[in-house]
Amino acid sequence: MTVGVAKEMAAGEDRVALVPSSLKPLLRKGIDIIIEAGAGTYAFAADEAFADAGAHIGTREVALSADIVACVHPPSESETQLLKKGSVLAGFLQPLEKPAIAARLAAQGVTALAMELIPRISRAQSMDALSAMASLAGYKAVLLAAARLPRFFPLLTTAAGTIRPANVTVLGAGVAGLQAIATARRLGARVWGYDIREVVREEVQSLGAQFVELDLEIEDMEDDAGYARALMAAKAKQQADLLVPHLAKSDVVITTAQIPGRTAPLLVTEAAVKAMKPGSVIVDLAAPSGGNCALTRLRTDVIHHGVTVLGPANLPATMPADASYLYARTMTALIGAFIKEGQFAASFDDDIFSSACITHGGQIVSRRVLQLLAA
């Protein structure tokens, strides 16, 4: 059995699906690993390092024709045609954002496992690539904000005077939000965290941040997968309005609220931006799914009412060495879990496999993807 890794061709993508240090668990199972020449260059994983770790360096065509192909982004149409029938493809396949990709993979006869659909259960923690990448994004978002803010983050007492700490508000207390809170605290800022899920209050406070209280009468807003549920339109508008006076006191706002397969909820209205002090910074991590801020523009830094609004698209790729290391660990855990006696064994009785699998045997097997395509 072979596992192949090709170089990522998506614009701005410097990660690689496996790194040299991640190969040992697969090699122990008797798997041959084929890496396209130069696949890890931008993640600082040289061909020589892969070869020393036990991989074979080959062409793109050979890597994509392996029994199992590990990727970060979904393959293009031409790359899909290189995947052999009956092979397995694992990666961030964007099934809820671009369901047509799943149809293409089904037509090719590929068993496709979407890393972003790995369930958030204890047994799958080692495979949770989405959380690993979200943590990197939350960290980097704060660094971007600190670099653009025309002030210090920490309290500074000098002979020339005392500078008060910056006020940072993080909207959304998932993995990215909690990492952003922790990073802002380490930089010395005063931090507030907000989430519609009451259950995360203690997590926010445990990191040294204050929990933002809003007078919203809502029930438990966490779904079975651990994500926030969408608010009804009237409540969503009320939430955004109630956030305005708090955001007006913030020097930095980091927004992280996203619901898989849906447009990001609007949390920061233009009125909220207008109420903020000139020089303030908003970093919108939900920009790829529409943005939590009304003024966000994807991959664009803009200034509105004196406030800088950043709409980054792929922050984990800006730290490709560690991002690739973490991603590779989750990838090898997923692949290794379903290798039985040297062969990949599809197991729809397994919660992890059935949740992540979107195509198998020439069919789309994910109910959510089928619903999206029907719509």
Query: DSSP readout, 169-193?
Result: EEE--SHHHHHHHHHHHHTT-EEEE
The pLDDT value given to residue 261: 80
Active site residue 322: no
Give the CA count within 13 Å in the CB-facing half-sphere of 249.
10
Q: Which amino acid is at 147?
A: A
**Res 341: pLDDT:** 87
From CA 328, how far away is CA 309, in angstroms rounded?
Answer: 32
Show the tokens assigned to 259: 């619901």
Q: Which residues pair with 167 in a beta bridge?
A: 190
Return the DSSP state at 261.
T
The sign of the dihedral angle between the CA atoms of 275, 278, 282, 287 is: positive
Predicted confidence (pLDDT) per residue in 202-236, tens digit: 999 999 999 999 988 766 555 555 555 566 788 88
Question: Of 156, 69, 77, whose CA–CA distance to 113 is shortest?
Answer: 69
Q: From the candidates 87, 108, 131, 135, which is the catalytic residue? A: 131
Q: For residue 122, what pLDDT is reported?
A: 93
Q: Is 232 helix (H, G, I), strand (E, B) or coil?
A: coil
Annotated active-site residue 125? The verdict is yes
Instruction: Specify whether the CB–CB gap between 7 and 38 falls below 8 A.
Output: yes
Mutual angle of helices 129-148 and 175-186, in 10-degree steps: 40
Q: Is 131 a catalytic residue?
A: yes
* Catalytic residue selected from 128, 195, 251, 284: 128
Q: Quick one: DSSP state of residue 12?
A: T
CA 150 from centre of chain? 28
Q: By C-alpha distance, which of 175, 190, 177, 195 is closest to 141? A: 177
Q: Give the H/E segment covering residue 162.
A: strand 161-163
**Catalytic one among 125, 205, 210, 343?**
125
325 catalytic per annotation: no
Could you tell me if 178 and 204 are in contact, meaning their C-beta atoms sit under 8 angstroms apart?
Answer: yes
Contact of 268 with 293, CB cutoff 8 Å: yes
Question: Which pLDDT belongs to residue 125?
Answer: 96
DSSP string, 277-334: PTT-EEEETTGGGT-SBTT--TT-EEEETTEEEE--S-GGGGSHHHHHHHHHHHHHHH
Local confidence pLDDT in tens for the 375 residues of the chain: 999 999 999 999 999 999 999 999 999 999 999 999 999 999 999 999 999 999 999 999 999 999 999 999 999 999 999 999 999 999 999 999 999 999 999 999 999 999 999 999 999 999 999 999 999 999 999 999 999 999 999 999 999 999 999 999 999 999 999 999 999 999 999 999 999 988 899 999 999 999 999 988 766 555 555 555 566 788 889 999 999 999 999 999 999 999 888 899 999 999 999 999 999 999 999 999 999 999 999 999 999 999 999 999 999 999 999 999 999 999 999 999 999 988 999 999 999 999 999 999 999 999 999 999 998
Q: Is there a catalytic annotation at residue 128?
A: yes
Exactly one of 120, 185, 297, 368 is catalytic; name it.
120
User: What is the helix (H) or strand (E) element at residue 111, kind and residue range?
Assistant: strand 111-114
Choosing from 126, 148, 201, 227, the catalytic residue is 227
